[in-house]
Structure 1
């Protein structure tokens, strides 16, 4: 767990879950796999999330929206490292995003091909139906 800086407020896991439309279980899982951290709150009983980790959760949600896996997020976090050096993370993020762009391009090509097959098949069926109804 990271340390709480003096005067820094934390948000509870329940409040964060509501704010982001997540479950507390999801946040705990992300903590378990090491892509976020919580701090021991001053009351000592509950964990909280600092503004840094709230921003990090927003970033994770964006990465998730872009299709990154937990493993890729762990990889980014490792690249970011303990020194919190963004310049080490950005090249790796660009590399991962390039891989996802290529996957999306491949899927789009497959979908375009599938669409053409469906349109062609539909036209064939229409033509057969017309021929059979004319002969019938």
Structure 2
């Protein structure tokens, strides 16, 4: 088992030192052993666990979800279906976020198109983008519809 200092662990796992200390603080990573000078030292098991945590975070799992996944790894009695259920829950949330981002994309495109047709280059206070943003609509879809409604008709 190698005695890695925090910098070497960080380099090996692609995780910075403050994050490693944070993971220790919240219990995702065991508290490191200490050398006589007080420096943290880590072993192969720490590299493996931190790599797992890092990979989970790269997939966007929350700290609580990572904690649950780590618990599953440590429990020989756990079922693969628990990990599947956590991944399915996360996938559902990711898909919902994608739908929100698509709506945001449509709204921004509508803002730009409306500005291009109505006020491009005109005075700022007359800008349809600034006007729509100042209305404080609660929904991206409502903003998108508002921006589209300000476009002049093609017939006239």
Asked if these proteins are the same fold (TM beyond 0.5), I'd say yes
TM-score by length of 1: 0.68
Q: 1:126 aligns with which of 111, 116, 120?
A: 116
Gaps of 5+ in 1: 1-7, 132-136
Asked which structure has the greater RCO (Cα within 8 Å, sep 6+), the reply is 1
Corresponding position of 2:54: 61
Task: Report the CA distance shift for 1:27/1:121 in structure 2 as closer, same or farther (over 3 A).
Answer: closer
Q: 1:34 aligns with which of 27, 33, 36?
A: 27
Alignment coverage as a number of residue pairs: 120
Task: Report the CA distance shift for 1:104/1:12 in structure 2 as closer, same or farther (over 3 A).
Answer: same
TM-score by length of 2: 0.60
**Alpha-carbon deviations, 1:82-135, whole Å to 9, x = none?**
xx42x626433322221221111111112222222333343333333597xxxx
Task: Report the CA distance shift for 1:122/1:10 in structure 2 as closer, same or farther (over 3 A).
Answer: same
Task: Please tell me the root mean square deviation across aligned C-alpha atoms, in Å.
Answer: 2.8
CA distance in 1, matches of 2:107, 2:91: 24
Q: Give how far 1:66 is off.
A: 0.9
Gaps of 5+ in 2: 121-151
